[in-house]
Structure 1
Amino acid sequence: MTGVAVKTAAVTGQLTLPYAEVGDPAGIDVVFVHGYVESWRYLEALLERLPPFIHGYAPTQRGHGDADRPRDGYRPADYAADLVAFMDAVGVRRAVLVGTSSGGLVAEVVAGSSSDRVSGLVLVSTPATLADKPGVAEMWETIARLEDPLDRAFVEGFVRATSPESLPEGVVDDLVDESLKAPARVWKGAMRGLIDSDATAMLDRITAPTLLIWGDHDPVVPRSDQDTIVNRIRGARLVVYPGAGHGVHLEQPDRVVNDLADFVAGLS
């Protein structure tokens, strides 16, 4: 992990989050937001490829990875509040937010409710909502019955279903290890929060320049979701990766970083 430093931040008096940091502190601040039952490790390939002018942060959200696990607070609004508090804790006044998969829903809440903290927004493989997805409803029936300790085979199946087939087995194993760190109650609480939240409510309030990155073979997030987001966020732009599936940041990290760097450079 050349150049990637792993640190911790006391976000509140009762919540400490680990985070990865990379780049020159004098660079442009970019904060990455991982998805459901992931951690900053899911963003490692992006962090390692960032150009020198980007100062990147990737916190692990509450309940996930090695972060603290409070009893409650697993709605997108809770994670958004944590993200703003994290920025305060590490001294970031304003940043480009990069949300991957459901992490994009958290980034949208921050961009819509704390616009002065967001200079740009990048949504990678992000759904417009999870409430209308039949596959999510079926998945919830399984997740609602989860108990600790989690079954590794189940977690591996989940990781493979939401990640590109091209991932090396060693990387898959590492990601499964990270997702296993979230206890059953976090799998349940975070999923229920995503399903119950109106993820589109903030879109009309987002004023930051916005870039969407999406693979046209994504089995989780349909093109219609991208059209919804683009039509609701004024000036938003969509970049389509032909042949790519869900989690394009894992499948094509070089291209994602190039598109991100062009977007960030264009803001200044």
Structure 2
Amino acid sequence: MDADIRQLRLRTDITVPCLVQDTGRTGTPLLLLHAWGESRKSFDRLIPLLTGCRIYAPDLRGQGDADKPAGDYSLAEQAEDAAAILDALGVPSAAVVGSSSGGYLAQQLAVTHPEKVAALVLVGSPLSLQGRPAFADEVDALSVPLDEAWVRDSLTWFPLVHDVPDWYIEDRVRDGLKMPVHVWKGILNGLCDATPPTETGTIHSPTLILWGGQDNLLPAADQRTLAARIPGAVLRIYRDAAHLVLWECPERVAEDITAFLRTFQE
């Protein structure tokens, strides 16, 4: 599979790296949006399992190897970044996969730039974050320098049902350590301060929602509401998984994404 990393200069004068990789001959454009505190490398176990796609996996502002400005980390600004990434790549529209808060971002992109979202896959994605998660106070209390022990402990906020490879966990620790304290705070505050996307507009893109039945962060009722707000959305529950569906079940996620894309293209 051919792959390269492109450095994209966005309209806000920040630069983000983006993995571009073909996984098959059809070249269906697929934009992968990672969760807060992670990077494009969180999709390393998923990408090899996807077939027939042209994959675009960027590091989002403030995270991974992307620029880390002091300024705006609002959900609206992040959605404009995602749109600008597609523009910089010369991709008019793509199927968009968002993991956890990356799915919140994907929803915002689908509301504000519907022409760019050909289809939507939300993997453990919130309906709303306005109630602020329990760990928000810990993030607010962070100070410089960022403590590696804190980053490691933050991964325990979301218990795992399935075994996840040690190397993958260590990669997520490295992701967290690359984020300055102001980015940890700025992104979370931007997510929590935003009006939920499905309250500001209607998503018309074909949508698949994947949710872990043992999720300790996102209630089942919220997932049903999210599905109800998106016309025609399909909610699929992984009853033996928790919040980090992408970490725990990359094989099943890949199968469901592939089958879903095949369905809406027919």
Fold in common (TM above 0.5): yes
* CA RMSD, 1 decimal: 1.7
1:142 aligned residue: 138
| Cα offset, 1:202, TM superposition | 4.8
Q: How big is each residue's C-alpha offset from its partner over 1:165-215, in whole Å with a ceiling of 9 and x where there is no partner?
A: 511222211110111111000111111111111114457411001100011
2:156 aligned residue: 160
Question: What is the CA–CA distance in structure 2 between the aligned matches of 1:228 and 1:145, rounded to whole Å?
Answer: 33
Question: What is the CA–CA distance in structure 2 between the aligned matches of 1:204 and 1:265, rounded to whole Å?
Answer: 27
2:19 aligned residue: 20
Question: What is the CA–CA distance in structure 2 between the aligned matches of 1:147 and 1:56, rounded to whole Å?
Answer: 36
Q: How big is each residue's C-alpha offset from its partner over 1:108-147, in whole Å with a ceiling of 9 and x where there is no partner?
A: 11101111111101100011111225xx1x3221111212
Matching of residue 70 in structure 1 with residue 69 in structure 2: yes
Matching of residue 43 in structure 1 with residue 43 in structure 2: yes
Contact 1:30 1:98 in 2 (8 A): yes
2:105 aligned residue: 106
**Larger CA deviation: 199-208 vs 245-254:** 199-208
| Cα offset, 1:26, TM superposition | 5.3
Percent sequence identity is 33
2:56 aligned residue: 57
Matching of residue 232 in structure 1 with residue 224 in structure 2: no
Question: What is the CA–CA distance in structure 2 between the aligned matches of 1:195 and 1:13, rounded to whole Å?
Answer: 22
Contact 2:108 2:197 in 1 (8 A): no
2:94 aligned residue: 95
Distance change in 2, residues 1:164/1:32 (3 Å):
same
TM-score normalised by L of structure 1 = 0.93
1:198 aligned residue: 195
Question: 3-state DSSP class of the match of 2:259?
Answer: helix
- Residue identity in the other structure for 1:132: G
Distance change in 2, residues 1:90/1:163 (3 Å):
farther
**Larger CA deviation: 233-242 vs 166-175:** 166-175
User: How many residues are aligned here?
Assistant: 263
Question: What is the CA–CA distance in structure 2 between the aligned matches of 1:68 and 1:260, rounded to whole Å?
Answer: 30
- Residue identity in the other structure for 2:164: L
Question: What is the CA–CA distance in structure 1 between the aligned matches of 2:59 and 2:191, rounded to whole Å?
Answer: 17
**Larger CA deviation: 161-170 vs 253-262:** 161-170
2:32 aligned residue: 32
Contact 1:203 1:233 in 2 (8 A): no
TM-score normalised by L of structure 2 = 0.94
1:256 aligned residue: 253
Question: What is the CA–CA distance in structure 2 between the aligned matches of 1:25 and 1:186, rounded to whole Å?
Answer: 38
Question: What is the CA–CA distance in structure 2 between the aligned matches of 1:118 and 1:57, rounded to whole Å?
Answer: 13
2:120 aligned residue: 121
Matching of residue 9 in structure 1 with residue 13 in structure 2: no
| Cα offset, 1:159, TM superposition | 2.0
Question: What is the CA–CA distance in structure 2 between the aligned matches of 1:233 and 1:163, rounded to whole Å?
Answer: 29
Gaps of at least 5 residues in structure 1 are none
- Residue identity in the other structure for 1:66: D
Gaps of at least 5 residues in structure 2 are none
